[in-house]
Amino acid sequence: MIIKVCGMRDALNIRHVEQLHIDWMGFIFYPPSPRYVEDIPTYLPSTVQRVGVFVNADMDFITQRVQNFSLDYVQLHGDESPKLCSAIRKITGKKVIKAFGVKDDTIFKNTSAYEPYIDYFLFDSFSDIYGGSGKVYDHNILHNYSGHTPFLLSGGLGPEHLTSIKAFRHPQFVGVDLNSQFEIAPALKSVDKLQLFINEFRKNN
């Protein structure tokens, strides 16, 4: 199972979280976000995959961040079309993650059009604003997803959800995205809290 920790910015915190042997680390390039990364941190992870999170960004902005941060994945969290996802994947040469806010199973009417052009879905909580709400949704809705593209669970996941996450089953479920529920402050993660969660999550997983 993939463990992604998103919303990182502080160099020392990046180093400490990397040492937890996570798989992916996310950097948010959406200016309104309190976790927005404007400048390159003095330390970037070398042993985990780097994910850049963008919201309706233009191609130049994305390609510049891909280059400057040596990103491995481009995560699109806005209203990006399948055509744009395809173009981003071709131009950057990177794998693409498309995020969707889940309110009910009608969302899956939209996902199939993206499948030829992306590598992963990220199913987040529905919100009227971009960037996630930090709230949890009913993961049972995802049982109605019949696509073939693998997905990560996201949306307010915290230590209290560990049991239900471990019990969740879906053939395309491949990982979790952790962020606000493990923070001391925006973009600053509690290493101890993450460590406890990761240790338990990895058991029998």
- The total of other beta-carbon atoms located within 10 Å of residue 99's CB is 25
pLDDT (average), residues 2-24: 98
Query: With contact defined as beta carbons under 8 Å apart, do 97 and 121 qualify?
Result: yes
Is 80 exceeded by the pLDDT of residue 105?
A: yes
Q: What residue spans define the domains of the chain? A: 2-202
Rounded to the nearest integer, the mean pLDDT of the chain is 95
Q: What is the mean pLDDT of residues 88-101?
A: 98
Q: Is 23 exposed, middle or buried (0-12, 13-18, 19+ CB in 10 A)?
A: middle
**Residue 109: predicted pLDDT:** 92
Nearest of 50, 41, 42, 52 to residue 23 by alpha carbon: 50
* pLDDT > 80? residue 133: no
Calculate mean pLDDT across residues 11-39.
98
Q: Does the pLDDT value for residue 204 go beyond 90? A: no
Question: Residue 134 pLDDT > 90, yes or no?
Answer: no
CATH T-level topology, domain 2-202:
TIM Barrel (3.20.20)
Query: Are 77 and 54 spatial neighbours (Cβ–Cβ below 8 Å)?
Result: yes
* Residue 122 CB-half CA count within 13 A: 28
pLDDT-based confidence at residue 137 (cuts at 50, 70, 90): confident
